[in-house]
Amino acid sequence: MIGALRGPSFWKGQLAMKALVTGGAGFIGSHLCEALLKRGDEVWIVDNLSTGRFENIAHLEDNSKFHYTIDTILDERVVGEATAKVDVVFHLAAAVGVAYIIDNPLKSLETNIKGTEFVLQAANEGKKKVIVFSTSEIYGKANEQPCKETDDRILGATTIARWGYSSSKAIDEFLALAYHREKQLPVVIVRCFNTCGPRQTGQYGMVIPRFVKQALLNRPITVYGDGKQSRCFGDVSDVVRAVIGLLDEPAANGEVFNVGSDIPISIEELAVKIKELTGSRSPVEYIPYDKAYERGFEDMRRRIPDLTKLRDLIGYEPEVSLEQLLERVVADFRK
Ligand code: UDP
């Protein structure tokens, strides 16, 4: 029966499926679980709650189609057992956040490389489709914008911890693509560009939850560097929709896709927008990168995804504007 479920009609979403979401108690993972359950799919998660939080999934606990294992993906047995139960794996469990990676370089490399290896090995046992969540950090400090999936990666020295994260995610991509080429494992790689939304925490460095919290508490809004660097912030609901669209599309197998919004805003402008939106009395404070992160820290000035490939394949268009995204985040923090 399971074999029959893996035909094209299954991927077109005509039948409910069984999905494993590693990192399912994280910010993106928990939104993905909700969307899959809403479609009628049955969902298992494995999460060690290192950066994820149980409260992200507490509201799903009573759903008979939702199952969770609080454990690490660095345990091969845990990954093997969870993968054996499902038809498809969404692999999100990873070290995330620039601040987290700088503080925990060893753990970050181990989780990202070894964890992904275990997931791909286990998925390969039953040729289960794997959606590997990657990152725009892959592009490094590339000046050429917007970033296309086939663009060169431009990274700094190995003494700068940030580039270890980028490199570990590149190894994940190489591994996934190698499994696809050599073992015909159906894999799809999604490179997320600054995904934001309710439940994201600023604890590991992410700018929007940090600014919103600072604004609501009338504390200084901490703009790093000169604030002229820009990013495109994508709402998590748009990202989840894109990922599910790719899951349902057999032509996505063995391919890499940028996912997110392609409308940039400078960090300085973002600070002002959040201040206005919350009616905050917070001053905007500029902090040098060396103080914010570590000596020699390198940031990218601009980071814009080229979404052509995603648009062409699944007709994707981001629907949530930055204003709507910020309103959702502010409402979540107020709650
Ligand atoms: N940033 C900032 N203040 C903060 C946190 C981040 O100015 O309190 C900046 C950060 O230096 C970067 C941008 O906001 O230029 C986005 O940071 P984030 O860590 O959210 O994502 P990144 O794009 O760096 O992965």
Residue range 2-53, pLDDT digits in tens: 333 333 334 454 479 999 999 999 999 999 999 999 999 999 999 999 999 9
Q: pLDDT digits over 64-98, tens only?
A: 999 999 999 999 999 999 999 999 999 999 998 88
Q: Which of 139, 165, 293, 316 is catalytic?
A: 165
Enumerate residues lining ligand 1, CB below 6 A. Answer: 98, 194, 205-207, 210, 222-224, 229, 231, 267, 299
Chain segment 126-166, per-residue pLDDT in tens: 999 999 999 999 999 988 899 999 999 999 999 998 899 99
pLDDT, one tens digit per residue, over 196-240 is 999 999 988 899 999 999 999 999 999 999 999 999 999 999 999
Q: How confident is the model at residue 99 (pLDDT cuts 50, 70, 90)?
A: confident
pLDDT of residue 332: 96
Among protein residues, the one with the nearest Cα to ligand 1's atom 20 is: 206
- Nearest protein CA to atom 10 of ligand 1, as residue: 224
Q: Is residue 100 among the annotated active site residues?
A: no
- Residue 205 CA to ligand 1 center (angstroms) comes to 7
Distance (Å, whole) CA 23 – CA 33: 10
Mean pLDDT in the chain? 94
Ligand 1 pocket: which of 28, 51, 98 to mutate (most atoms within 8 A of CB): 98
Please report the pLDDT score of residue 9 as a whole number.
Answer: 37
The pLDDT, as a whole number, for residue 15 is 76
The whole-number average pLDDT for the span 167-183 is 98
What does the alpha-carbon distance between residue 175 and residue 170 come to, in Å, rounded to a whole number? 9
Q: Give the pLDDT of residue 260.
A: 98
Between the CA atoms of 197, 146, 130 and 172, what dihedral angle is there, to the nearest 10 degrees? Answer: -100
What's this model's pTM, rounded to 2 decimal places?
0.94
Q: Atom 1, ligand 1: which residue's CA is nearest?
A: 207
Q: Which atom of ligand 1 is nearest to the CA of 208?
A: 20
Instruction: Give residue 234's pLDDT.
Output: 98
235 alpha carbon – ligand 1 mean position (Å): 16
pLDDT, average across residues 306-318: 97
What's the per-residue H, E or C state across the chain? CHHHHCCHHHHCCCCCCEEEEECCCCHHHHHHHHHHHHHCCEEEEEECCCCCCHHHCHHHCCCCCEEEEECCCCCHHHHHHHHHCCCEEEECCCCCCHHHHHHCHHHHHHHHHHHHHHHHHHHHHCCCEEEEEEEHHHHECCCCCCECCCCCCECCCCCCHHHHHHHHHHHHHHHHHHHHHHHCCCEEEEEECCEECCCCCCCCCCHHHHHHHHHHCCCCEEEECCCCCEEECEEHHHHHHHHHHHHCCHHHCCEEEEECCCCEEEHHHHHHHHHHHHCCCCCEEEECHHHHCCCCCCCCCCCCECCHHHHHHHCCCCCCCHHHHHHHHHHHHHC
Report the separation in Å between the CA atom of 304 and the middle of ligand 1, taken as the mean of its atom positions.
Answer: 14
Which ligand 1 atom lies nearest to the CA of residue 206? Answer: 20
| 71 CA to centre of ligand 1 in angstroms | 29
CA of 114 to the centre of ligand 1 (A): 27
Calculate what percentage of the chain has a pLDDT beyond 90.
88
Q: Which residue has the higher pLDDT, 307 or 3?
A: 307
Inter-axis angle of helices 207-216 and 267-278, nearest 10: 40
Q: What is the mean pLDDT of residues 94-111?
A: 91
